[in-house]
Structure 1
Amino acid sequence: MTTAADFGGTSHYADLDGPVHWVDFGGPDDGPRIVLVHGLGGSHLNWVLLAPLLARRARVVAVDLAGHGLTNPEGRLTTVQANSRLLGRFVAEVVGEPVVLVGNSMGGMISLLHTAQDPGMVRGLVLVDPALPMVFGTRPDPTMLGTFFLYSVPGLGKRFLARGRTASARRQVDRVLELVCADPTGIPEELKLASEHLIGERAKVEGLDDAFLSAARSTVFTSSKRGAYYAAMREIRVPVFLMSGDKDRLVNVAAARFVARRHPHWRYDEYAGVGHVPQMEIPEVVSERVLEWMDTHRLSTSAS
């Protein structure tokens, strides 16, 4: 059985109107605080390759949002807005000082919205292939478009998810990696085994399909409100590092390029031959770039 502990992490739970699972990857006590926020259907496992690299110079934790990973819904909402509030409570009550937020996909959207709404608890924001509005004139990936269409239709979404679970845990892991990675063969076997184990743990919990579909629909709805989303971006006053893989099938790289042009003071890096999860595909590169960016903006020391 492979878990987060095999990647240097220690599991904890915080009571934030119900148990919230998070993983402490350690790091220097006097270093800056980094909070890692996964995407739709993801978990703390999305960060286990990157976190130990960042922990060489920062105190790093990863949180499982409501309805994801080992944070069961417990009757809580799992929308983008609800998880943004949950993230705010986690930063304030568990970390207890301003942090650098690093969010991927839906987690990038949630981190961005939280930063716009509560800037006092965020020192810097790293957006790793965040969920963004689609740019007019670009064509979404057919598999992604069809999947999210099924999620949006009452009844069909649950049947689609149930059908997917008829496959073995390994096949479920492989399908996800084929969607999010440009080249899934580079993902370590240990991470695949940990993902299989997590699938087994989550199979014991009721209500996760409804929680996932709520989060998925909320992500699409929030992205569709282009004006409000772009307005939230304009509210951000902390340093921002936006990155994107040019082979991302879920969020077309054109969307990241468009946002980068609107915010020339943000740092923008684009990675050739990389998909939706650079932190899993090229963790060494992402770590090096993030730590360099933190140095540039003097975020490499603790806020306390």
Structure 2
Amino acid sequence: MTAATETIFATAENPPSQYWTWRGHKIHYVQAGNTNGKPPLLLVHGFGASTDHWRKNISDLQQDFSVWAIDMLGFGRSPKADTIYSGNLWRDQIHDFISQVIGEPVVLAGNSLGGYASLCVAAQRPESAKGLILLNSAGPFSDSNKKERSPLQKALRKVLFSPVSTFLIFQYTKRRSTIRKTLEKVYVNQDAVTERLIDEIRRPSDDPGARKVFGAVFNTPEGAKVDHLLEQLERPLMMIWGEKDPWINARSRGAKFKQYRPELTEHYLNSGHCPHDDTPAEVNQIIRDWMNNNFAS
């Protein structure tokens, strides 16, 4: 990445905040750019992140596409609602946003938890999706060898996710020093771990209801398995993997995706869990080329 490119990314600002009412909640989103004959691109953040995390991508890709980013319910500038969080909830939120606000099918690009939610949309609400880009995507595969938790495991889990425990864990994880250490662990480009990034991740944790959301997300009902979703998926799929992700064995997990969708396009980068923010210039070019090759004007 050149110094000029680094400066552009460092100073890039998100487009103005906009809000859409969904099920009584004011959902935050941003939009920039024009269609130029291509489908809109909708960016979906991961756990603990927000539209801010796509700043380096929006500032660049808006030159070629109509780019949207949304804060899923419970994250970013969207409300921290007291509800049951699940892949189905976020799937329905994103699907309704596409149909009610964007007004046409999109190419979904999701990171981590946002990747799983985007896969749910593309597979189970195909009328909303033209294509799908997954960046270090989360979500469980079927496991025939998985054993039911023992009574002791169930009891320990109940203690771990009790209100007192989640309060203490939440207070620890929202500390700036903890956020910094976590980011330094999951980013290859340490220069990308800035005070601004830490601020953007920490800020929503002070919103009313944030602690309850933190506990609720760790107790989400088990959703559709990734392999089942891939079997349902009928849209073009591209995988972008940060190969230095300490939380995901990218090559092993990528092979599982390829098992169910052998025709998918895949890229392995010298990047961490959030390649779009860790190595944005590389990711932006990969997205641009794939969009232009698959969705001709």
TM range (shorter): 0.7 to 0.9
Q: CA 1:218–1:99 in structure 2 vs 1: closer, same or farther (change >3 Å)? A: same
Following superposition, the deviation at residue 196 of structure 1 comes to 1.2
Following superposition, the deviation at residue 239 of structure 1 comes to 0.5
The answer to whether structure 1 residue 154 and structure 2 residue 162 are counterparts is yes
Which ranges in structure 1 are unaligned for 5 or more consecutive residues? 137-148
Which ranges in structure 2 are unaligned for 5 or more consecutive residues? 1-9, 144-156
Bigger RCO (CA 8 Å, 6+ sep): 1
Following superposition, the deviation at residue 235 of structure 1 comes to 0.8
The answer to whether structure 1 residue 46 and structure 2 residue 74 are counterparts is no
C-alpha distance in 1 between matches for 2:158 and 2:197: 28
Following superposition, the deviation at residue 251 of structure 1 comes to 2.2
1:239 maps to 236
Q: How does 1:132-281 map to 2 (within 5 A)?
A: 132-133=139-140, 153-155=161-163, 156-165=165-174, 167=175, 169=176, 171-183=177-189, 185-187=190-192, 189=194, 192-193=195-196, 195-196=198-199, 199-200=202-203, 202-203=205-206, 205-218=207-220, 221-222=222-223, 228-253=225-250, 254-271=252-269, 273-281=270-278
Following superposition, the deviation at residue 248 of structure 1 comes to 1.0
Q: CA 1:208–1:201 in structure 2 vs 1: closer, same or farther (change >3 Å)? A: closer
Q: CA 1:23–1:293 in structure 2 vs 1: closer, same or farther (change >3 Å)? A: same
What's the Cα RMSD here? 2.6
The answer to whether structure 1 residue 9 and structure 2 residue 15 are counterparts is yes
More displaced 10-residue stretch of structure 1: 17-26 or 57-66: 17-26
C-alpha distance in 1 between matches for 2:228 and 2:86: 20
The amino acid that maps onto 2:191 is G
Deviation per residue, 1:97-154 (Å, 9 max, x gap): 1101000000000000111111011001000110043798xxxxxxxxxxxx799632
* Partner-residue secondary structure (3-state), 2:136: strand
Q: Is the contact between residue 40 and residue 216 of structure 1 (CA under 8 Å) also seen in structure 2? A: no
The amino acid that maps onto 1:232 is L
Following superposition, the deviation at residue 172 of structure 1 comes to 4.2
Q: How does 1:68-83 map to 2 (within 5 A)?
A: 68-83=75-90
User: TM-score under structure 2 normalisation?
Assistant: 0.82
Q: Is the contact between residue 66 and residue 76 of structure 1 (CA under 8 Å) also seen in structure 2? A: no
Q: Is the contact between residue 54 and residue 287 of structure 1 (CA under 8 Å) also seen in structure 2? A: yes
C-alpha distance in 2 between matches for 1:23 and 1:75: 24
User: TM-score under structure 1 normalisation?
Assistant: 0.80
* Partner-residue secondary structure (3-state), 1:251: coil
Return structure 1 stretches of 4+ with deviation > 3 angstroms.
27-31, 74-77, 132-136, 149-152
Using the aligned pairs only, state the percent identity: 22
The amino acid that maps onto 2:214 is F
1:112 maps to 119
Q: Is the contact between residue 186 and residue 272 of structure 2 (CA under 8 Å) also seen in structure 1? A: yes
Pair member with larger Rg: 2
